[in-house]
Structure formats: C-alpha cells, structure tokens
Amino acid sequence: MKLGFFFRNKAVYWLAALVRTLETNYDVSANSGAIANAWTLDVLRQDFAGRCDGFHYLLEFLQRNWSTFDISAPNLERLEAMYGGPNLWLDLMSDRYLSSRPYHDALRMIVGHLTFWERYYDTTGVEAFLMEANDMLSTLTAYRVAMQRGIDCLTWVSLPTNPQRVGFAHNLYYKPDSVTRCFHRLQESQLSIEQHQRADEHVNAFRAQAARPIWNEEHLRAPNRPTVRASNLRSFACRLPAYYLRNGKLDYTDQGPFADAIDRLKFVLRARRLHSSDLFDRPSRDDRFVYFPLHFQPEATTLVCAPFHVDQLNLIEQLARSLPVNMLLYVKEHPVSLGRRPISYYQRIKKLSNVRLINASVDSHELIRQAAATITITGTAGWEALLYERPVIYFGNAFWDIFPLAKRVTDIAQLPYVFRDWLPTYQPDYELLLKLVTALFQGSYPIEGGSQPDDPDMPDDERIDGVARAIAAELNLQPRGRTISASGLHSH
C-alpha cells in the first residue's frame, strides 16, 4: 500500500520513527510525505537523508504560487461545491492562526491549500493518508480533498482507557469509527460474561480514583505558579537566528520568538495575579448546581468539533439565563489555562448572579458526582460524567456522543426546557454504559502509554511499535516477514 503522512511541528520526530518502522515491517511505501514548514523539513533531512526531495512542501508551495491563486467568484464557488462541507469559511475559521487574516489573504490561503492537496494526491497516488491531528486549515483541507477523491484519510486518537488504547477517526471530529460501529452492534445484543466483567472492572477502577471531598479546605492543592525559566531564555536565544536567517517569518503558524516571549511573560504575570486574587470561590455543600468546566483554548475540541460554540463566555451567559431559579452554575477553569485568559474574562463571569467561579485546584471528579448535571462543549468531563452515571449536556462532536442518554443541545433557545423537562426525568442505564465501554475496547487497539509520546523529541520505541501494529491492523497491511522493533531499527 502507498501510504502518505503529513509531517509537521514537533510530532515530526515521532512520525519519522513511525514511518521507518512501518516500511521495515509491512508491505507499505511511505515515500510520499507532505511537509508543513521549514523547521519540519530540516528535521526530516536528518532522518530521511536524500528522500525529502520527493516530499511535497506546503509552505514553499504557498510562497511560490501566492500571486497565482485564483480567488475569482466562479473558482471559489467551484471549490466550495467540491470541498465545502458545507462551506469553506468553516475550515478557515477553525484555524487558530488564520481566522483574523485580511479577507483576500484568507481567500488565497483557502485556494492555495486546496490546490496543494489536489496536486499532492494526484501526483503521489497515495491510497491512504495519516495525520496525527486535525486542527488547522492544512489538515482540514487535506481531509476534504482526500474524501472527494475517495482516499482514506485518518487520524489516530488516544482514548481515555486504562491502559490506554488508540482508535482511528476516518472523520474530522476525532470519533473512532470502529467504536461507533461496535456500539451500535452491541445495542442489539447482550454482553458476554467476559465482556460484562471487563467493562465493569474498568468503570469501577475509574471510580476508585475519586479524590477527597471538595468541601474540605485542605483539599485545595498548592497552585503551580508559572515562571520564566532558564529554558525559556535558551529557547528564545536559539530561535532568533533560526527564525530570521531561514526567513521563518513567512510561516503563518509561527508568530516569531519575540511574540512568543511576550505571550509567555503575559501568562506568567496573569497567573501570579490570579493565584493571589479573590476571584475564585470554593464549593458549598448547600448549593444545588450544574457544572461547566472551561475548555482549554485554542484547541480542536472547540475550533473543529464545535465551531459555533468557541465563545465560552457567551455560552456561560446562555446557561445562566436558562437555569431553574434554585440552581447555580459552577464554572471551573482548566488547570493549565490559568494565566492564558485576561483577568477581565473571569470578572465578566463573576458579574453573573447565579454563577460561581470555582478554584481551578478543586477536583473535577467530585464536582461531577455532586452536580445535578455536567455541561460541556465536547470535553472529557462529559465522558467522566457518563462513567459516574451522571447527566451530561453537550453541544459539539465528541467520541462519546453516540451514547443515547447524553443530551445534545443544537438549539440554544431550548436550554431552559432541557433543564426543566429533560433533567428531572434522567434515568441512568448501567448495562448500556457497559456496552459503550465494551465498544471502546473492541473498536480500538492497545498502546502502552498512549498514541503520543510525552516528549516528542524522544520517540518511545515500544509505543511506536504499538502504533505501527495498530495502523497495520486498521489498514490491513501485510507483514514483510520478520518483524523488527523500532529499537532494533535504531541499533542498525
């Protein structure tokens, strides 16, 4: 099989090792890579000496052909009819780097990306294309063009199981297709004794990691106060020559070392101010509340999976308007986001009478258990609430949204009626939950440590071997005889 990969950013180290393992152990050719930017190309030249000349280089293509991209109305309408699902602005606005570009620049970006992928697929003849994420115009257009040409385009997804497993999404929304098919099939049958026991053990193991009650003041952990470290200064010094000598400023995904340094300083100063502020509340055992954990942003979980709910402040205000009079909305910041949002963001939340801004150190699991419902856009908190058999209200696309007892809201005007009519009648179904957990196991592959390394610069041989086996199983790749591990490849 002729297999294509998209190499970009720091995942390139890991992907390069994965490609070597696949080519050595399976009947696959992976010479037809696509490269995102100059930094990625530099890394690949070290790992794939001589082979990069045949790779397709996205940034160079955009720079070389920028003035030639046809942004006339007829061509834009033609491209939107072919690739817009349902329109092309949706993909551009899902790219954190491009959504604020000037109008004509944005149009050229759309046309340029689609043209690049048309030429890539037509020239290489790849039969399947793999990406490690689907969160930018480059990957979204790669998917759109592949689907129009009947080419299988897939992304691997780490699933929250223990031990971790990987599934494959042949769609834009990180939803493993095999898990969906397995769950629909299991709904029509009974679990075997072994399946029931395994799923039950998984649910009980998850619940066993519950934290201490949140009502105790000592439960609030000492906050992790960010700072400017020596490593930040070294990174800044190293990036300066690389960025300007290589003309890296032409890469729209790289805002440059000075902008990064300013962002880091803002983050540190905001976080320190927030840690010493009185903006955040502690939960009260007397409150009746629904729980809304803030999403980390910018990220594909909202940009791609829920593009019409990117504005979380607006959603919080709509939730506050929709609640019963005797219920509060608990909002908790994502722990790693403290300092990333301006202080005014939290002050706006605090102005709402029936909203409590909860300390980020409070454990989310206990909030889920105590809440009348957990509300999320697409987040993992929804999955955790399902495992606790608690009501879930959500707004976007998530891998667990196939569960019929979770309530998806597509019309924001219906929220008051969801709280009034649906929530009081919610009844859990443990057997149905076990079927969903079973589908998660049946539709995925075991990967020790997950599908992504903790440090992309240091590929984990065992993990790479596991992902290679999972890809081979998903695509029915034939082995090449004696299998060699990634560690064995490194030693040769």
Q: How big is the CA angle at 205 (ends 167 and 431), to the nearest 5 degrees? A: 75
Q: What is the amino acid identity at position 128? A: A
CA separation for the pair 258, 264 (Å, rounded): 10
**Taking a C-beta distance cutoff of 8 angstroms, is the pair 90, 106 a contact?**
no
> Looking at the domain that runs over 289-441, which CATH code has it been given?
3.40.50.2000
**Taking a C-beta distance cutoff of 8 angstroms, is the pair 233, 250 a contact?**
no
Write out the chain's pLDDT in tens, 492 residues. 999 999 887 778 888 888 889 989 999 987 678 988 777 777 777 766 556 557 899 999 999 999 999 999 999 999 999 999 899 999 999 999 898 889 999 999 999 999 999 999 999 999 999 998 888 999 999 999 999 999 999 998 988 876 678 999 999 999 999 999 999 999 999 999 999 999 999 999 999 986 444 444 443 444 456 666 776 677 667 667 766 665 554 577 777 777 778 877 887 888 787 877 788 999 999 999 999 999 999 999 999 999 999 999 999 999 999 999 999 999 999 888 888 899 999 999 999 999 999 998 899 999 999 999 999 999 999 999 999 999 999 999 999 999 999 999 999 999 999 999 999 999 999 999 999 999 999 999 998 655 554 444 445 778 888 899 999 999 999 998 655 544 444 333
**Taking a C-beta distance cutoff of 8 angstroms, is the pair 153, 147 a contact?**
yes
The CA–CA distances, whole Å, from 355 to 316, 327, 350, 391, 425 equal 9, 9, 7, 19, 24
| DSSP element (H, E) containing 296 | none
Backbone angles phi and psi of 291, in degrees to 5: -115, 125
CB environment 17-33: b (16+ within 10 A), e (fewer): bbbbbbbbbbebebebb
pLDDT of residue 213: 45
**Taking a C-beta distance cutoff of 8 angstroms, is the pair 82, 61 a contact?**
no
pLDDT of residue 9: 73
For the chain, the residue count is 492
Nearest to 9 by CA among 34, 32, 45, 40: 40
Q: How big is the CA angle at 135 (ends 173 and 71), to the nearest 5 degrees? A: 110
Q: What pTM did the predictor assign?
A: 0.88
**Taking a C-beta distance cutoff of 8 angstroms, is the pair 416, 325 a contact?**
no
SS (H, E, C) 75-127: HHHHHHHHHCCCCCHHHHHCCCCCCCCCHHHHHHHHHHHHHHHHHHHHHHCCC
pLDDT of residue 449: 55
Domains of the chain by residue range: 3-176+444-491, 221-275, 289-441
**Taking a C-beta distance cutoff of 8 angstroms, is the pair 467, 156 a contact?**
yes
Q: For 53-83, how does the pLDDT look when each residue is reduced to its tens digit (9 = 90+)?
A: 578 999 999 999 999 999 999 999 999 999 9
CA separation for the pair 115, 113 (Å, rounded): 5
CA separation for the pair 169, 157 (Å, rounded): 7
Q: For 444-455, how does the pLDDT look when each residue is reduced to its tens digit (9 = 90+)?
A: 999 865 555 444
